Structure 1
Amino acid sequence: MNILISRTDSIGDVILTIPLAGFLKQKFPECKIFFLGRSYTRAVIECSSNIDKFINWDELRQLATEEQVFYLKELAIEWVIHVYPNKKFAQLVKKAGIPYRIGTSHRTYHWLTCNKPVSFSRKNSELHEAQLNFKLLEPLGVYEIPSVSDIPFLYGMVLSDKQFDDLPVQPDSSRMNVILHPKSKGSAREWGLENFGRLIELLPSDKYKVFISGTAEDKAHMEQWLKKYADRVEDITGTLSLDAFVHFISKADALVAASTGPLHIASALGIKAIGIYPPIRPMHPGRWKPLGKKAEVLVLDKECEDCRKLTECACMKAIKPESVVRALED
């Protein structure tokens, strides 16, 4: 059985979809799993030993329609699971004659492109985002949804033998290596540079080596803040490819961030991943917390509606840096 999982959006969402591959391998040991993703998510998708082949949507969509159809037919895919609805790919899959096409019935174009619709709502569900993905396996006769404590065992993350000896910085074996990822590129509420700065001040340099990660764009937004703490941290913002960053995270001891891709990468790799979250549905940890063997979340014990329409969350910023220190030391 050849099964293709389609998820063409962000890194964090892709990480939370990868356990589907591990679960399918358990249920159908002889199956072959294809994963359709984007160029920028390739590095994390190819880390999973449960995924047999990565298909790059950015490259596939550049081909002529006839070439796209021929390519998909050559793969002999029998099932496609549209985890992230992608209208153009859904139309292509139908055109390629793939027999079984699963997708949510809540997208009108799936009525014409999917012959195995599944009806469920993500918006009001009490399930974690990763668990909701398993609802799409019902047409395959799989109705079981793993617990959030079982999902970390389904990632199958195995790093390649590729060496990154030329990294601009290296972890320090004599100290606890902690990556702080302050920004979110607008994908999540942020804890704030002031809180991250206070956290840096609380971490003794003889015990902790602190790295600041982020994109080149993040670096520009944090320029003055980075200068302030230049003697306390190693700045790796904008210096690593995703492939190198994944390897770097795997060598660290902990990562602290809001609900971002790097947080979910860290949890999937099995290092201590400390997520800082707002108590606002549906962005609360019950829906989006990192799922890992050493993952932990910090959130105020309340339901907050006051900050829903704001870009910042006062309840999230009220989480004290001392709480993060305690989580690191546990």
Structure 2
Amino acid sequence: MGIQRFIDLWKHRYNKYILQQYVPAWRFIQSYLLVRWVKLNNPKKQIIGVLLAEHFGDIVAAEPLSRIIKQKYPDSKVFWIVRKPFRELIDSNPNIDYTIEETNLYQSILTSRHHNFDIFYNLHMPELRLHIPTLTFLTNPYAEQLGIHVKNYFEFGNLLEVFAKVGGLPLSQETPKVYISENDKQKIDQQALPQKFVAIHCHSNFSPKDWQTYHWENLIQRLYTLGYHVVEVGLKSSLNQSLPGYINCCGKFSLLQTAEIIRRAQFFMGVDSGPAHLANAVGTYGLLLFGKFVHFDKYLPYSGGYATNNAIMITDGQKPCADLPFEVVWEVVEKHIQSTSKS
């Protein structure tokens, strides 16, 4: 064996066994010991674990379940397992006592198999999260018993309903909440945003759910002629940065600061993605661009306000969102602006 082959072999072994298995196993042991310590110090309290590590729209959608758990078990300590990019949503939630950070999917696989919680709610769907180095799925036997999986979950209701069902929790139709601190509000105060603006979000984590960039740019120009600035939120922008009235806030603010930006908007426009769940949580009226998504010709992810009277779903038959004609969208936007200007 040549020296380079030897180096490559040990790099592979280091990544597969040390980084991808042993380190997550140690993190699992740490969290196991933390739960044990909390049990010893709170012998009369029930210790509850919740696993929903990603993505942030799902975590926002599932927030009412944290309230349901605390109402059901008021004398309890609740742990929530979450990935680092989304933990501020959990850290800020007063219904959750401890945050366990998922550093690797294998850590959560071990937790689901060997946890020491008194009660454990796994809110993940089976066949969705695969630990590639070991080719191991994060399973959910209860969801499998119900026949809920990644290809049919929207047949069982909105996201909140689905999470409640796969976790064995009571069903709820409440609007989710996010818990924005005064520091985050002050941070947005300092940005001197225009008084009259529309918040938009253009990109999901699945491109067929996205509307065409040139349509967004056309929309921004038309809104500007009606006196609206447009503030884009999200991770990154692909829009023309020099458009009049356009403000790029992508990648500059935390999740809760982004929620505060959306809260201050006259209305929110976006595709089916995390910021739309934030908009639902803060109560900002939504114009939401939808279409056929993988196996689902028609679906509704939201509970509460966005499922009833605080949003309009803009669709065009069974076309994917990427194929939505501009005029179909603009007609709805124009009607909404006219109706709000009269009130």
Using structure 1 for the length normalisation, give the TM-score.
Answer: 0.70
> Is the 8 Å Cα contact of residues 105 and 118 (structure 1) preserved in structure 2?
no
Could you tell me which runs of 5 or more consecutive residues in structure 2 were left unpaired when the two chains were aligned.
Answer: 1-45, 128-135
Could you tell me which runs of 5 or more consecutive residues in structure 1 were left unpaired when the two chains were aligned.
Answer: 62-85
Match in the other structure for 1:134: 164
> Is the 8 Å Cα contact of residues 165 and 171 (structure 2) preserved in structure 1?
yes
Q: Measure the CA separation in 2 of the matches of 1:50 and 1:285.
A: 33
Q: Measure the CA separation in 1 of the matches of 2:293 and 2:142.
A: 36
Total equivalences in the alignment:
279
Q: Measure the CA separation in 1 of the matches of 2:285 and 2:300.
A: 19
1:264: Cα distance to partner?
Answer: 0.9
> Is the 8 Å Cα contact of residues 279 and 315 (structure 1) preserved in structure 2?
no
Aligned AA (1:303)? Q
Question: Counterpart of 2:299 in 1: which secondary structure?
Answer: helix
From the CA coordinates, give the structure whose radius of gyration is larger. 2
Aligned AA (2:265)? A
RMSD value, Cα? 3.4
> Is the 8 Å Cα contact of residues 50 and 156 (structure 1) preserved in structure 2?
no
Match in the other structure for 2:284: 271
Using structure 2 for the length normalisation, give the TM-score.
Answer: 0.68
Q: 1:295 to 1:128 in 2, by over 3 A?
A: same
What are the within-5 Å matches in structure 2 for residues 143-292 of structure 1? 144-146=170-172, 150-152=173-175, 155-163=176-184, 165=186, 167=188, 169-173=191-195, 175=196, 177-186=197-206, 189-204=209-224, 207-215=227-235, 218-219=236-237, 221-222=238-239, 225-227=240-242, 229=243, 231-280=244-293, 282=295, 286-289=299-302, 291-292=304-305
Q: Measure the CA separation in 1 of the matches of 2:182 and 2:68.
A: 25
Q: Measure the CA separation in 1 of the matches of 2:110 and 2:263.
A: 38
Task: Report percent identity of matched pairs.
Answer: 18
1:156: Cα distance to partner?
Answer: 4.0
Q: Measure the CA separation in 2 of the matches of 1:325 and 1:242.
A: 29
1:287: Cα distance to partner?
Answer: 3.7
Of 180-189 and 249-258, deviating more is: 180-189
1:259: Cα distance to partner?
Answer: 0.7
> Is the 8 Å Cα contact of residues 314 and 329 (structure 2) preserved in structure 1?
no
1:323: Cα distance to partner?
Answer: 1.3
1:134: Cα distance to partner?
Answer: 0.8
> Is the 8 Å Cα contact of residues 184 and 258 (structure 1) preserved in structure 2?
yes
Q: 1:110 to 1:29 in 2, by over 3 A?
A: same
1:24: Cα distance to partner?
Answer: 1.9
Question: Counterpart of 1:157 in 2: which secondary structure?
Answer: coil
